[in-house]
Structure 1
């Protein structure tokens, strides 16, 4: 039985949590975190492997029927997540652009894609986690809605200070609370490894469940249930299949 049948549908939301495809910083970062301090990786975009991962995930969500169920796509406003969101959930003829390439195609016949600052990666110190200007993104990704961006330039990222994990967790809680203000019921969230992991840690209090770091282009799907005004426990499968996209209960 689908987990949503146990509760009134207006109190449930289905979240499909997606980490971006491999970025150029992920490749070099294997040499050590010190590499990520380089300005070379500013607002890191997808690597060739990352693009292939996005194509593969697109085929999976199309073949299992998930693409037709999603009401809204929320993405972090970073090049690698924008590329992933458009590449996986955009319309046919989608384009995973970076500045030097042609503009992205319109996402007609696909769910709206909205950029939200709250679901960015842990910010500070690493240039790969500093975003570019909103006007540049709007030019490269015209199918994405950037109206919720806080400013034209990145005022959240600090060169000399990195967010604490508690600050990331608190931001994740605000993000979940914001999701409950949305009317959409089935939502894809395209974000980053640390942020997605902290969301699961916030929602999950069962140590046996899968709250490990997301792999690049991994998707995990959960149902959140609004039982009260406070955050409660939740449950996730220990091994989430990308193809079957199972749904498990998460209590709010």
Structure 2
């Protein structure tokens, strides 16, 4: 996934630029936190072929990593400069993105869709709000690779939409496969 922020307000490197800094964007690339497939693959790499790892989700340690990165993003002020979050439509990447760049805790009665509903795919994680956060867009073309491993295959977009209601999947639908 990546966060896109405006270069305006950020310190410029010393020297000259070929393009004016105020017209540039800064990309922040973030890899997903630890998924169940990472743990299984470390024990036995043949487990990457297991269908039980289809569209692998985050481990409890992965959610801990997300919480720590979120704290860093908040404390550094970066969260205020992110204008757009682009995410690959895979469960673990969306969980990481909404956990890091999403709004504060979701509360029933708020008139906005959550970024992620509570206990999405039995994650045992609370809902994540879309309040006061940048827009999220799922883009299939962000994919690192497509292989034979079930952990790298995803659910259909129609299965993700109710789990991540505030993510825009309009650019992912056309590249859908399962």
Runs (5+) with no aligned partner, structure 1: 156-252
Closer, same or farther: CA 138–150 of 1 in aligned 2, 3 Å: closer
Per the normalisation by structure 2, the TM-score is 0.78
- Per-residue CA deviations over 1:113-161 (Å, capped at 9, x if unaligned) read 1001011231120000001011111100112110101448416xxxxxx
The two structures have a TM-score, normalised by structure 1, of: 0.56
- From 37, 59, 62, the counterpart of 2:71: 59
Q: Distance in 2 between matches of 1:152 and 1:13?
A: 26
- Give the Cα–Cα distance (whole angstroms) in 1 for the partners of residues 15 and 133 of structure 2: 26
Given that 1:20 and 1:80 are in contact with CA atoms closer than 8 Å, whether structure 2 keeps it comes out as yes
Residue equivalent to 2:122:
100
Structure 2 stretches lacking a partner, 5+ long: 1-10, 107-115
* Aligned match for 2:86, one of 71, 74, 87: 74
- Asked whether the 8 Å contact 2:104–2:129 carries over to 1, the reply is no
Aligned residue number for residue 159 of structure 1 = none
* Structure 2 SS opposite 1:60: helix
Q: Does the residue aligned with 1:91 lie in a helix, a strand or coil?
A: coil
Q: CA deviation at 1:33?
A: 2.8
Q: How does 1:1-252 map to 2 (within 5 A)?
A: 2-3=12-13, 6-7=16-17, 8-9=20-21, 11-93=23-105, 95=116, 97-100=119-122, 104-151=127-174, 153-154=176-177
Work out the CA distance in 1 between the residues paired with 2:129 and 2:15: 35
Q: Report the counterpart of residue 209 of structure 1 in structure 2.
A: none
CA 1:75/1:5 → structure 2, altered by over 3 Å: closer, same or farther? farther
Q: CA RMSD in A?
A: 2.3
User: Contact 1:134–1:151 (CA<8 Å) still a contact in 2?
Assistant: no
Structure 1 97/9 Cα, relative in aligned 2: closer, same or farther at 3 Å? farther
After TM superposition, give the deviation of residue 69 of structure 1 in Å.
Answer: 0.4
The number of residue pairs the alignment matches comes to: 155
Larger relative contact order (CA 8 Å, sep ≥ 6): 1
In the alignment, the residues of structure 1 paired with residue 167 and residue 14 of structure 2 have an alpha-carbon distance, to the nearest angstrom, of 29
**What is aligned with 1:165?**
none
